[in-house]
Amino acid sequence: MTPEFAQVLQSTAVLGAIVRPLLVATLLVGLWYALSRARLTVRQRLSHWGVVAVVLILWLATVWTLASQGIFELAAGAQIATAVGMTLVPTILFVAAALTILMRSMTIAAAIDVAPLWWLVAYQGYRVTGFIFLPLWAEGFLPGFFALPAGIGDMLTGALAIGAAIALARNLLWARTFAYAVNIFGMADLVNAITLGVVSTATSGSSVVSPLLMYPLVIVPTFGVPLAFIIHFLSIWQLHRRSRLASQSAPHAGHAFHSTA
């Protein structure tokens, strides 16, 4: 690894050290607000909020510790495919398990139903920080076929998410359709970025490894991407549930109107 590459990675690490804890804190504050609006007991609120808080904090702390110690990079060796499998397969399984548990929880469903529609979409606004990939490409440290789609795709997702959140907050007619589109675009961008990152390489010492296995970038596929994917999915779930609840209440409202007419 060249000194220039190390310096750029260090700057990226500093940005991540600021952004990631803020993201976790934002999610936990938002979750508590949603739980407080739902018709739940204090015990239900505390228990579910506590579990989510512990999982998020332990997840970030574990990944951060392993990444800073170079465990993912050392695991790569000459077998990039093996290292990627060791990194991504557990992450995919974790996302699947997390979504299954969250969507089967009546308490989480109750919180989702009362949370503002713009909240989960607005979370993706942080992805405007995808510009961090562009200096790595400009300096020749990352290939353009990975850094440009990943960086530009993230920035577009972040900007569109902010726009969708504003539209939802103003209750514009096209806001929900736009929010669906932003979530789908954001999920596609995540999958595309990870796929391209897997096949891209960078030199580290005497080894050639995927840059997504190097600190701090390895925190992207092991924490940032899966968390963003989960939030995208929950946002789509929330939009679907809100539309279904609205359609179920509409006939009752119409019946009440005719009864009083």
In terms of residue numbers, what domain contains 108? 3-248
pTM of full prediction above 0.85: yes
Residue 77 lies in a domain: yes
Q: Which CA distances in Å does 80 have to 90, 209, 211? A: 16, 6, 11
Residue 255 lies in a domain: no
Percent of the chain surpassing pLDDT 90: 54
Q: Which CA distances in Å does 81 have to 19, 63, 106? A: 29, 19, 39
| Residue of 103 and 247 predicted with greater confidence | 103
| Amino acid 205: pLDDT | 47
Encode pLDDT of 74-121 as tens digits.
655 545 566 666 677 888 899 999 999 999 999 999 999 999 999 999
| Amino acid 123: pLDDT | 96
| Amino acid 261: pLDDT | 37
Residue 261 lies in a domain: no
Total domain count, the chain: 1
Encode pLDDT of 205-233 as tens digits.
445 556 677 788 889 888 999 999 999 99
Among residues 145, 150, 152, 139, which one has the least CA distance to residue 1? Answer: 139
Residue 174 lies in a domain: yes
Residue 139 lies in a domain: yes
- For residue 257, is pLDDT > 60? no
| Amino acid 2: pLDDT | 67
Residue 136 · residue 146 · CB < 8 Å = no
Q: Which residues of 85-116 are buried (b: 16+ CB within 10 A; e: fewer)?
A: ebbbeebeeebeebeeebeeeebbebbbeebb
Query: What is the chain's mean pLDDT, rounded?
Result: 85
CA atoms within 13 A on the CB side of 40: 25
Residue 260 lies in a domain: no
Residue range 8-20: average pLDDT? Answer: 85
